[in-house]
Structure 1
Amino acid sequence: MDQAIPLDILRRRTRMRLASTLLVLGALCAAAWGLNRALRPSVSAADVVVAEVRRGNVDNTVGAAGVVIPVHEEVVASPGASRVAKVLAKPGQQVRAGDLLLELDDRDIRLALEALKEQLAQQDNRIATLKQELEQKRTQITSSLELLEIDLQAARATLERNEKLRSSGLVSGENLLTAQLNVKRTEIQLRQQRALLEATHRTTATNIAAADLQKAILQKQIAQQEQLLDRTRVRAPFGGMLTWLLEEEGASVAAGQLVARVSELNNYRVEATLSDFHARQLAPGQAVRVEQNGEVMAGTVHTILPEIQNGTIKLLVDLAQPRNPHLRNKMRVDVAVVTERRTNVLVVDGGPAFNGRGPQPAFVVRDGVARRTTLDLGAGDGKVVEVVAGAHAGDRVVVSDTADFKHRDSIRITN
């Protein structure tokens, strides 16, 4: 005869079946979780950089490589072919206006200067001789004129007496004619002497003027040689830093060859070089950001050099603070020329995930999952980029390199 199963045994069996069921369900959940992990890869939050889309301002910039240069720099050239006789300074030292930097051999210039001075002395002697000769000739001719005037007076007196005697028949017609001819002859001699005096004066004055002109030419040549002689003692044109100097004593130098360069201290600008592809976007007066070791300095485009070399164009940038104490001559800096400025637009921090302007794939993070989407990017300044479409304010976007999962539609972000 069958007996009833005790109630505690039934309860125990029920609990065992329930535990088995829960165990099976747990195993199924674990398997599903593992399968999900296998099918949807993840990336650690420490391995990606996520930035938030926000409202802000952005400048479209063109990047360039820059070099700090002095605003005022002057070179000193050799006045002629020579050699370095003595070096008195060193590159890198501060100099004052007029400080002696080096001396060039001046023997040839001194010889030429002495020869010119000798020619000038000869010219002075010639001028003095011409003036003396003129004075002598003028004295001689003046004396002759005085004697001829006396002769003329005597001839006229004789003529007057003969004319009176002729009326009384005491003098013959021949004597009267002779007296008349003597007067005319003396008058002609007087005119000739006066003309000779004027001609002598003009001729001598012309010779003296020519000698004076030659003297003036020699004086200019002497002044030039003295300037050349003075320039053989190479001096600093103004106070600043001696950035370059021909230091080898005895070295030959050609006429016009650079022997020294002096730059103004603590007054700089930037020479920027960039691709000529951007030439049409550049214009004088554009804002510029100059960055060096994290410090950003403001500036403006001053000059765009017209020459293009090897596919690059150069421009000069004036700094708002040209005397910044951190600047050094020939220091390399990063330059960003602002070609366009946009305000109150959607922006996001820039990063390797973005490449230029226009539509491009990106990953927007929501609920711990980065989902692939398309962003339309606009202006960028290297720090932030404009989001024209594809995201809203508050969205979080992966801005680090996404090359490892760029072909996936989504990827989980784990802590």
Structure 2
Amino acid sequence: MVQKEGIHGMDTQKKNFFIIMFSNFLVAGSTTMIMPFLSLYIESMGNFTEEYVQRWAGLVFGVTFVAALIMSPIWGRIADKYGYKPILIINGFGIAISIFLMGTADSVPQLFFIRLFMGLVTGFIPTSLAFVSSQTAKETAGKTLGTLQMGSVSGTLFGPVIGGLMADTFGFIYTFVITSGVIGFAALIVAVGLKEVKKVKKKNAHVYARKTIVQGIINHRLLFNVMIITSLIQIGNFSIQPLLSLYVSHLTDSTNVALLAGITFSATGVGNLLFARRWGRLGDQIGYEKVLTFLLILAFVFIVPQAFVTELWQLMVLRLLFGIAVGGMIPTTTALMRREAPIEIQGEVMGYNTSFRFLGNIVGPMFGGIVSGFIGISSVFVVTGVLFLLSFFFLKYTTSKPEQDFEDVLLEQELKST
């Protein structure tokens, strides 16, 4: 079906955008609701040592991302063939069922395998980014994706606070049930309200093998390097997260450490929320590479001083400024993928980019833990800053080389493999 020109087509696009933004808010908020009490839930399953709880909390949290990393390109390839809407529905109801089952788990290993299953269907938000990107003109992709990110970031800001309050009020099991219901509702909105405008493929469109696409990405300097940078960005974001409350406790004598840590954590999200759309729009105007280069330097400038703060308010201000810098990175990299990838394989290419994001989610907390174990928590900010600086030089080097057409690279790889 070709999108109708004029008001009707625009109305469909706007309606789709608001449905995706609202469902992203619900899904991001609901999935982060369970994060604050996951280790407490494990602790409630038996008489365990603190070491056992911490080890399993890490495994239960991380296994979802491991499974998601493997599945992302597969979902992307399916989306290229059948459309994004079926994937969003499967992912939405899949996450809802997983969270409901978490409330029925009788043992820690059982919870681990439920989280593993959840990873197989965890891709709602990246898939929704890809969906909106595919339905958006290349010229305005940055602004649109930046605006869309406001939905998921808003959910991430409110989710942990609401989840903590619900767990205290209703208990763990009822919180899982309520969370599951909210995500199921989001999936239902998508199923009923979303109208996918089928991509208009070229006549006699080329069908690329998965091996050719992987080789094409590896040999396309810009795409491959941006995917690596995507991973480094996530490592930078996630390296300090498990340690932030501990760092906050060193900066304050207050008894409300958990609350203050939550506010400090949320400061990054607020910065993200305020500027994501603006960075996206700027990328549309002057080029995504230029904006990403600037943001990487900005992130370096704002994260390193966090290692040397002496007061909590200083850390909060710097986390807010860091959030402003990081806020534009995901919409900018996604818009860049949208620009480079041929329409026939866009879902799969974005799937690989999502895999690199999930890789960063896995490596980040482990990386932060190892660095803080050897040279202290404050040093994590400095080392993370170095990662952003390396990414900057990496991108500068890549953009200094001659441009490559991705379709030419794909055809070249195909010829080599025949």
Give the TM-score normalised by structure 2: 0.17
Tell which structure's C-alpha radius of gyration is larger: 1
Compare the two structures and name the one with the higher strand fraction: 1
Compare the two structures and name the one with the higher helix fraction: 2
